[in-house]
Amino acid sequence: MAKVLLLQGNQACAEGAIAAGVTFFAGYPITPSTEIAEIMAKRLPEVGGKFIQMEDEIAGIGAIVGASLTGKKVLTATSGPGFSLKQEFIGYATIAEVPIVIANVQRVGPSTGQPTAPAQGDMMQARWGTHGDHPVIALTPASVPECFTLTIKAYELSEKYRMPVLLMLDEIIGHMREKIEIPDYDTIEKPVRKGPRVGPSEFKAYEPDSDGVPPMADFGTGYRYHVTGLVHDETGFPNGSPAATEKLLKRLHEKVERDIDKITMYEEYKLDDAEIAIVTYGGTARSAYAAIDMAREEGIKVGMFRLISVWPFPEKEIAQLAQKVKVIVVPELNYGQMVGEVKKAVEGKVPVKPMSKYDSEPISPKELLEFVKNL
């Protein structure tokens, strides 16, 4: 039976994971993400799952990679410093095609920065944090209910494309409590991993279907395959030939690019007649709703394009947006990150104005309104 609760974003993320069928969590505590671990520690045994606090963040992601190979849905959660430490393994999960979900609840600044204050400073790191070329899927919830639904969505994408999916929360969303209606988990469709359709003798572990994604066998079911971070061919064994290298890296990218329209998620808020578009995401979108409502009352035609999936970046949609509006404003809690992507997509068609705030406070609706008025 559905329940109405007052939950934190972090809590909703943990509950979303349970609802999606997650049965394994490994991680290392770090503010402002720790509640996710704490809730999983309590909840997982209740649903027959396992929680383990590892010795560091690297071990945390390593353990979920291992658990995923046994067929489990897995989660780890962290914040900036831990996210930096996990990067090498994110690359591993990408090239070895191991579905995992990582929640990063962003804090302020490089290094230790300011652990308890909000920022959106890891957005570009989410895209480029690991070495080498790799595709990325990253989602940014803007409300507590969305923390729940996007977490489930993360598993859908992660299982479908066999790759890491990042949940990029910020401290605003992660720590605020709001109303959420939680459905009975039995009514939620659990994302399913595509298993092999042939027997072990015909199985080639990394031979893709036409969607570019190879079916994945669970460890312990007799398929006996090899998983490696080296460049490999369809057999899964190392093959560093130029042909195999290109084929693999291309496929990894194309399985995402091909479906970019399916993956892309965004919300349009009062954009229909807008002359000014605010492009933003996550906690900052909350300021934008409010600012837009205020602006509209003053007759200013402003609307919002809210990025829900930030990576892959919806280039096409933003290019279209640039056809419709006169100016684009990109408020962010950082020194200017996603605004660069917007600029790239807009190609000079309309002015793109960054509105960067990085003083550890959220952007208030009033500030944003002023900014829009002074354009």
Partner 1 sequence: MIEMRLSGSGGQGLILAGIILAEAALLDGKMAIQSQSYGPEARGGASKSEVIISEKAIHYPKVTKPNLVLAMTQEAVDKYSKDLPADGILMIDTTFVKKVPDHLKNVYHLPITEKVTAELGKALFANIVALGAIVATTKAVSVESITTAILHRVPKGTEDINKRALELGIALVAK
Partner 2 sequence: MEKLIEKYYRPRLPHIWCPGCGNGIVTSSIIKAIDKLGLDQDKTVIVSGIGCSSRASGYLNFDTVHSLHGRALPVATGIKLADPELNVIVITGDGDGTAIGGNHFIHTARRNINLTVILFNNNIYGMTGGQYSPLTPTDSKATTAPYGTLERAFDIAELAKAAGATYVARGTAFHANMLVDVIAKGISHDGFSLIEAVTQCPIYFGRQNKKGDASAMLKTQRDNAVTVEAAKKLSPEQLEGKFKIGVLHQSEAPEYTKQYQAIIDRAQKGAK
Ligand X SMILES: Cc1ncc(C[n+]2csc(CCOP(=O)(O)OP(=O)(O)O)c2C)c(N)n1
H-helix or E-strand containing 367? helix 365-373
- The reply to whether 238 sits near partner 1 by the rule CB under 8 A is yes
What DSSP line would sit under 250-278, residue for residue?
A: HHHHHHHHTTHHHH--EEEES-TT-SEEE
Give Cα separations from 334 to 118, 156, 307 (angstroms): 10, 29, 16
Rounded distance between C-alpha atoms, residue 220 and residue 198, angstroms: 16
Q: At a CB cut-off of 8 Å and minimum separation 6, what does 330 contact?
A: 278, 279, 280, 336, 338, 339, 342, 352, 353, 354, 355
Provide the minimum distance between the beta carbon of 286 and partner 1 in the complex, in angstroms, as a whole number. 5
Would you say 164 or 283 has its CB closer to partner 1? 283
Would you say 53 or 239 has its CB closer to partner 1? 239
**Binding track, positions 67-106, relative to partner 1; x by CB under 8 A:** ----------------------------------------
Q: How many CA atoms lie within 13 A of 93 on its CB side?
A: 33
Contact region for partner 2 (CB under 8 A) — 26-34, 176-184, 260-268, 281-289? 26-34
Would you say 38 or 315 has its CB closer to partner 2? 38
- The reply to whether 198 sits near partner 2 by the rule CB under 8 A is no
Count other Cβ atoms within 10 Å, centred on residue 43.
18
- The reply to whether 208 sits near ligand X by the rule CB under 6 A is no
Structure tokens at 313: 């970046």
Question: Binding partner of residue 119 among ligand X, partner 1, a second copy, none, CB under 5 to 8 Å per kind?
Answer: a second copy
Would you say 28 or 281 has its CB closer to ligand X? 28
Question: Binding partner of residue 334 among partner 2, partner 1, a second copy, none, CB under 5 to 8 Å per kind?
Answer: a second copy
Q: Is 240 exposed, middle or buried (0-12, 13-18, 19+ CB in 10 A)?
A: exposed
Rounded distance between C-alpha atoms, residue 8 and residue 195, angstroms: 35
Would you say 144 or 307 has its CB closer to a second copy? 307
Provide the minimum distance between the beta carbon of 110 and a second copy in the complex, in angstroms, as a whole number. 3
- The reply to whether 183 sits near partner 1 by the rule CB under 8 A is no
Provide the minimum distance between the beta carbon of 172 and a second copy in the complex, in angstroms, as a whole number. 15
Q: Which of 22, 65, 77, 276 binds partner 2 (CB under 8 A)?
A: 65
Kindly report the three-state secondary structure assignment for every residue of 123-134. HHHHHHCCCCCC
Q: Which of 82, 215, 331, 365 binds ligand X (CB under 6 A)?
A: 82
- The reply to whether 340 sits near ligand X by the rule CB under 6 A is no
Q: Is 154 exposed, middle or buried (0-12, 13-18, 19+ CB in 10 A)?
A: buried
Count other Cβ atoms within 10 Å, centred on residue 335.
12
Contact footprint for ligand X (CB under 6 A): 28-30, 57, 81-82, 85, 112
Contact footprint for partner 2 (CB under 8 A): 23-24, 26, 28-31, 34, 37-38, 41-42, 45-46, 48-72, 74, 81, 88-89, 92, 111-112, 219-230, 237-238
Contact footprint for partner 1 (CB under 8 A): 4, 6, 31, 114-117, 172, 175-179, 230, 238, 240, 283, 286-287, 289-290, 293, 362, 364-366
